[in-house]
Structure 1
Amino acid sequence: MKRSDLPSLDDLRAFETVARLGSVRKAAEALALTHGAVSRRVAKLSEDLGFDLLERDGRGIRPTAAGQALHQTVGRCFGEIGATIEGLRATLQQSGTLVVSCEPSVAMRWLIPRLPSFQAAQPDVAVHLSVGGGPVEFRRDRIDLAIRRLDFALPESWHVQRLFAEHVGPVMSPGLVAGFSAGHYLALGSKTRPDAWPNWLAAHPSARRPSEIRYLDHHFLVVEAAAAGLGVAMSPRILAVDDIERQRLVAPAGFDADGSHYGLIRTGGLPLTEQASAFCQWLKAQVGSFGR
């Protein structure tokens, strides 16, 4: 068989997980996919190969004879791939490299300004910062730790350390406070959370309404635009805290908890390296003032 004729790796992984766990439901949980998505991938693999891979076994399922043979080969190959990747990760970790993934706005407006203090305390640890939001591909992207807003499903095997609760509120340059109070202002929001302004206004019926709500692509753009005097930004507190301390921004209406939290995430199955443990302790100290 030509390499170009080989089945999809995602389909093989779905089948291998179902065959190993003996359940589509358990496989879906392990892969962070829906039950239907796993079933479709296995059905597609069976169709592409031209033979059945699974069969009923009482109230459960089991591999057919052909499926068992394929499962053994695929499992062995995945094991070898995993061992190779872990070896490469271990090499990177031993070299002092720590890969941290962080949401773009939090990275730009909060984490990066604080990283020099970590580097001063841990000069032998090279932090490689990558930006990204939502689900994390730890193995694929060789990520050690991830900082995320916890608004998506996480596998049970992952370790999550809550960092702080999310609080949002309107922030503006000091010169726009009078206009905000009088209702003569342009509201700035992020396209990533289009409901933030409507939700805040609904929760504060006595607040004056803006003349217009204008949306930018990311929160870091929204907060920077507010600091430049372009309008009033609906901002997470963590993104504005430094500019508020420097009096570049003010938050006359304060910040409200929105029920979500940020967390530090790592995959299960591997102990923390010394570098990762040092970063976790440092980060915990940095967010101490935000509370849980």
Structure 2
Amino acid sequence: MKRSDIPSLDDLRAFETVARLGSMRAAADELALTHGAISRRVAKLSRDLGITLVTPEGRGIALTPDGDLLAQATQQGLSVIGEALSSIRDKEGDAPIVLSCERSVAMRWLIPRLSQFQDAHPHIPVHLSVGGGSLNFAKDGVTLAIRRLDFAIDPAWHVQTLLHEEIGAVMAPEMSATFRSGDYIGLGSKTRPDAWTTWMNMHPDSPRPKDIRLFDHHFLLAEAAASGLGVAICPRIVVSDDINKDRLVAPYGFVADSSTYGLIFPAKPGLSDSEKKLLGWIESVFLTISNVEVDVLE
């Protein structure tokens, strides 16, 4: 085939995504296009080549033998292009890495430590955005994302486990006597309204709050607790610095719940060297969370 006969890269990329995900709709979501646009690009590619590439199968598609052969070649080609672009970005040294993070984790854990990475790697700019739940990396312009893994994971993503979450009841040191008497307000998050019930089931002999009030975010809970407004159920990662500074105490320690935090990014084209350095640093700082000591009631 002459170079002038090679189909459009946009059409090939659309086909590769459909082949990888097995669905026009899933491909449209990943590429931030409409279902119709994806369908038209795949149909055009098929016409240009004069072969059938996909056939309907249930709610998705199946590859023909020719389609499977082209999918493998296209995936390899796009991977090579992606690696070359990553190398170019690394040489330029000025393409920012966009790191998306859960709001409370960003404010109470990541931001206070991010200068460590920037001091060690001043040539690697990192832009921080906040967000939670699922995302579209291409549409949102995100490189890496730190997330609580409580949503469906796209098979096109790579997931690096960072932390199995622990929760605990935290309060200002001067609230300890009030807590033991049971004359206190329980503070909870609207994102996890059952946290107090879960914690009390784990600690059936603990003093019960006389009332429970909900806040929008855990970073607000932590600050409210440190200000003496009540006793908050918070993730360890959100309050570990306050415990180290004696702004908060956790008399019952922390217990694991069923949730996990992870670092996610598109599996293809993979990470550049700069992005790998940021990933390694994130993993290292998350490991320090378990080193926070707490004084537990005997």
Give the TM-score normalised by structure 2. Answer: 0.70
> Which residue does the alignment assign to 2:11?
none
Is 1:242 the counterpart of 2:241? The answer is yes
Deviations 1:65-108 (A, max 9, x none): xxxxxxxxxxxxxxxxxx9xx979x7698524110000000000
For residues 211 and 161 of structure 1, the distance between their equivalents in structure 2, rounded to whole angstroms, comes to 40
1:66-81 equivalence runs, <5 A: none
Match of 1:105, SS state, is: helix
Tell me which stretches of 4 or more aligned residues in structure 1 moved more than 4 Å.
19-22, 28-33, 54-63, 90-94
Is 1:99 the counterpart of 2:95? The answer is no
For residues 134 and 181 of structure 1, the distance between their equivalents in structure 2, rounded to whole angstroms, comes to 36
Deviations 1:28-80 (A, max 9, x none): 895599xxxxxxx78xx9xxxxxxxx9867998689xxxxxxxxxxxxxxxxx
Match of 1:283, SS state, is: helix
**Which runs of no fewer than 5 residues in structure 1 stay unpaired?**
1-15, 34-40, 46-53, 64-82
Deviates more, 1:98-107 or 1:269-278: 269-278
> Which residue does the alignment assign to 1:273?
272
Task: Please report how far the alpha carbon of residue 266 of structure 1 lies from its aligned counterpart in structure 2 after TM superposition.
Answer: 0.7
Number of aligned residue pairs: give it. 243
> Which residue does the alignment assign to 1:170?
169
> Which residue does the alignment assign to 2:131?
132
Q: Is the 8 A contact 1:109 1:220 kept in 2?
A: yes
Q: Is the 8 A contact 1:96 1:275 kept in 2?
A: no
The aligned amino acid for 1:166 is E
Q: Is the 8 A contact 1:165 1:290 kept in 2?
A: no
Inter-CA distance 232–32: structure 2 relative to 1 (3 Å threshold):
farther
The aligned amino acid for 2:96 is T
Match of 1:188, SS state, is: strand
Q: Is the 8 A contact 2:162 2:263 kept in 1?
A: yes
For residues 102 and 159 of structure 2, the distance between their equivalents in structure 1, rounded to whole angstroms, comes to 16
For residues 108 and 148 of structure 1, the distance between their equivalents in structure 2, rounded to whole angstroms, comes to 14
Inter-CA distance 20–110: structure 2 relative to 1 (3 Å threshold):
closer
Q: Is the 8 A contact 2:243 2:249 kept in 1?
A: yes
Q: Is the 8 A contact 2:190 2:214 kept in 1?
A: yes
For residues 275 and 29 of structure 1, the distance between their equivalents in structure 2, rounded to whole angstroms, comes to 32
> Which residue does the alignment assign to 1:27?
23
For residues 215 and 58 of structure 1, the distance between their equivalents in structure 2, rounded to whole angstroms, comes to 45
> Which residue does the alignment assign to 1:156?
155
Is 1:212 the counterpart of 2:208? The answer is no
For residues 173 and 246 of structure 1, the distance between their equivalents in structure 2, rounded to whole angstroms, comes to 11
Inter-CA distance 60–200: structure 2 relative to 1 (3 Å threshold):
closer
Task: Please report how far the alpha carbon of residue 181 of structure 1 lies from its aligned counterpart in structure 2 after TM superposition.
Answer: 1.3
Inter-CA distance 239–32: structure 2 relative to 1 (3 Å threshold):
farther
Q: Is the 8 A contact 2:23 2:60 kept in 1?
A: no
Inter-CA distance 30–212: structure 2 relative to 1 (3 Å threshold):
same
Q: Is the 8 A contact 1:146 1:265 kept in 2?
A: yes
For residues 274 and 102 of structure 1, the distance between their equivalents in structure 2, rounded to whole angstroms, comes to 21
Deviations 1:211-244 (A, max 9, x none): 1000011111011100111110100000000000
The aligned amino acid for 2:184 is Y
Task: Please report how far the alpha carbon of residue 134 of structure 1 lies from its aligned counterpart in structure 2 after TM superposition.
Answer: 0.3
Kindly report the root-mean-square deviation, in angstroms, between the aligned alpha carbons of the 2 structures: 3.7
1:30-109 equivalence runs, <5 A: 30=26, 94-109=93-108
Identical columns (%): 47
Inter-CA distance 150–237: structure 2 relative to 1 (3 Å threshold):
same
Give the TM-score normalised by structure 1. Answer: 0.72
The aligned amino acid for 2:144 is L
Inter-CA distance 171–269: structure 2 relative to 1 (3 Å threshold):
same
Is 1:188 the counterpart of 2:187? The answer is yes
Q: Is the 8 A contact 2:240 2:289 kept in 1?
A: no
Q: Is the 8 A contact 2:173 2:249 kept in 1?
A: yes
For residues 61 and 137 of structure 1, the distance between their equivalents in structure 2, rounded to whole angstroms, comes to 22
Deviations 1:113-161 (A, max 9, x none): 0011111101111110000000021111111110001111111221111
